[in-house]
Amino acid sequence: MNVEVPRVAASAPSEQVVAGLLEHGAVVVEGVLDPGLLARFNTELDPLLEQVSPDRAYLNPLIDFFYGDRVRQVTGLAASSRIFGEEILCHPFYTEICAAILGPNCSSYQLNVAQVMERGPGAEQQILHRDEDVWVHLPRPHPDASIVPVRSTPKCRWLR
Q: What angle do CA 57, 53, 43 make, to 5 degrees?
A: 140
pTM of the predicted model as reported, rounded to 2 decimal places: 0.77
Low-confidence ranges of the chain (pLDDT < 70): 1-3, 129, 150-160
Question: Can you list the positions of beta strands (E) in 50-133?
Answer: 71-75, 115-119
pLDDT at 157: 55
pLDDT at 153: 58
pLDDT at 155: 59
pLDDT at 43: 92
Go through the domains of the chain in sequence order and give each one's CATH number: 34-159 (2.60.120.620)
**Among the listed residues 150, 151, 118, 153, the one whose alpha carbon sits nearest the alpha carbon of residue 36:** 153
pLDDT at 4: 82
Cis ω for the linkage preceding 141 (within 30 of 0): yes
> CA 80 to CA 97: how far, in whole Å?
24
Burial zone of 72 (CB within 10 Å; 0-12 exposed, 13-18 middle, 19+ buried): buried
Strands 28-30 and 7-9: parallel
